[in-house]
Amino acid sequence: MNTDEVYYEYRLRNMSVFSRYVLNPLGVSEKFTWVSQTQSWELAFSFLADRCEKYALCGPFSSCSINSNSAICACLKGFVPRSLKDWNSGYWSDGCVRRTPLACSDGDGFVKYSGIKLPDTSSSWFDKSMSLSECKGLCWGNCSCTACANLDIRKGGSGCVLWFGNLIDIKEFTPDGGQDIYIRVAASELDHVKKKSNFNKRQLLAILLSSAVFLVGLLVGMILYIRKKKLRYEGHRRKDCRDEYLGEDGEEMELPLFDLTTIAKATDNFSSCNKLGEGGFGPVYKGTLIGGKEIAVKRLSKNSGQGMKEFKTEVILIARLQHRNLVKLLGCCIQKDEKILIYEFMPNKSLDFYIFDHEGQKLLDWPKCFHIISGVARGLLYLHQDSRLRIIHRDLKCSNILLDNNMNPKISDFGLAKTFGSDQSQANTNRVVGTYGYMSPEYTADGIFSMKSDVFSFGVILLEMLSRKKNRGFRHPDHDHNLLGHW
C-alpha cells in the first residue's frame, strides 16, 4: 500500500465463512460468499450509492441526475430521446441522438455544462500542455470530436481531453461539485438553446412577477382585513366605553366619539403652547382638526378623584342642551385612561379677562356689557325654564362665561350641574362644591341649592361687571366686607 491508494479493511466474525467484495464493470459493489455445499461463490448482496452509479444507465448523450425528484435521466441540450416511448416508460439505455447533425463547418459550436462527472474515456484523447481555447479549436477542427474539457481542473484548469463518438455515463452533481465540459452541437442548436434560455428567463420573470403580484395582493388583502377588523373592534370598544361611562344616556345622545390620536395631533400632543387654561378638573387646550376647524379640548386630569362623575354629568347635559348662549359640545374621547371633552373654540377667551384685566377693560364698553349680561340671562332662563331638563348650574362665574368672535356670551363648564324634575324647586347636598364668592349663603351654609342659587351667582357677575372688581378680592378702608357686602 502507498499514499496514492485507498483501501478498506474488515474482519469476519465467523472465520469459517469465506467472502469477497467485487466492484463489477457497471460500478456496482457486490459481496460474494463461498458455499461449501455447492462449491461456488454466491451473491450475498449488491450495493449502489445511488441509481446513477450504474454504468451507462441513461445511455449515450444523456445525463443522470442524483438530485432529480422525478426522472433521473435527461437528454443533453440539442439532443432528443432515441425512442420517445421507451424513454417515457423509464427505459433510458438507448439514450439520445442529435436533433440536428453536425455540419463540420464554421457553424458548429459548444454548449457548456458545469458540475458533472466527465463521460467515459474509453474513446478519448488527452494532452497535458494545451490550454482550453486550444483544446476547443482542436475539437472544432475534427469532425469526429463530440466534446472537450480541461484535463486538470486544479489552479484554473489546464490540459485537454477530447471525446470522439458517443458520450456515455455522464452524471450531474450539485453546482459546487464536478467539472466543466463543452458539448459540440450544430449552429441551429446554439440558437435554440439561446432562445430556450431566453424563454426560460422570460418564464421565470413571469412567474416571479405573478408571484410578486399575488403576494402584494395577499398582503393588501390581509392589511384591509386587519384594518376592517380593527375598525370593527374599535367601534365595539368605543360603544362599550360609551356604555360603561355614559350608560343608556350616552346611547340616546349619539354623541361623536373622537380618536385619541386625532385629538393628540390636533393639540400638538397636548403642547403647553396650546394650553388655554386650567379648570377644576383638568387643563383646556386649543386644537385644530385636519379640516382647519378650531376646537377647545378639555382634558380630565388623571389625578382628579372627583372628575369622572362631573365628566359624565357634563357630557350628558351639554349634549342634550341646544341654545345660542350655551357652549356647544362637539364630541368626547374615552380611550385608555383619557377622558376628554371637545368644544367649539371661543376665540375671545372668558369674561373675567375683560372685567378684571386693565387692558381688557378698555375693550368692554357699556353696550357690550349689556349685550353680554343679556345673553347670560337668556342662557340661564333656558336652563331653568325652557329646556327639557331643568338644570341648576351651581358654578356660574365670570371665568365660565366664554365669548365668541362677536362677543356673544356662552355659559360653559357643566361639571357640577344638577337636574331637577318639573315639580322640584330645591335640593340638598352634603358635598358643597363650587366657587366661594359666587355661591349663595344657604348653599354655602346648609348645602341647599335651587334656581335661586344660580340667580345669586348671576347677581354677583352683574355686580362685578358694573364695578370691575372681584367679589372676594374687594378691599375697603372702612370695613372688611366683600364687594357684595359693601353694596
Mean pLDDT of 416-439: 82
Dist. CA 25–CA 33, nearest whole Å: 19
**pLDDT tens per residue across span 444-475:** 888 889 999 999 999 999 998 888 888 776 56
Least confident range of 76-85, 158-167, 353-362 = 353-362
User: Domain 348-487 belongs to what topology?
Assistant: Transferase(Phosphotransferase); domain 1 (1.10.510)
**Is it the case that residue 293 has pLDDT exceeding 80?**
yes
Indicate the class that CATH gives domain 255-345.
alpha beta
Domain boundaries, the chain: 1-47, 58-185, 255-345, 348-487
pLDDT of residue 69: 62
**pLDDT tens per residue across span 16-43:** 778 888 887 766 778 888 888 888 988 8
pLDDT of residue 288: 94
Annotated catalytic residue, options 108, 169, 395, 413 = 395
Tell the residue number behind the cell numbers 383646556, with chain if given.
Answer: 284
152 catalytically annotated: no
250 pLDDT band (50/70/90 cuts)?
very low
Which residues lie across from 287 on neighbouring strands? Answer: 295
- Which pTM value belongs to this model? 0.49
**pLDDT tens per residue across span 346-359:** 999 899 989 888 88
pLDDT of residue 317: 76
146 pLDDT band (50/70/90 cuts)?
very high
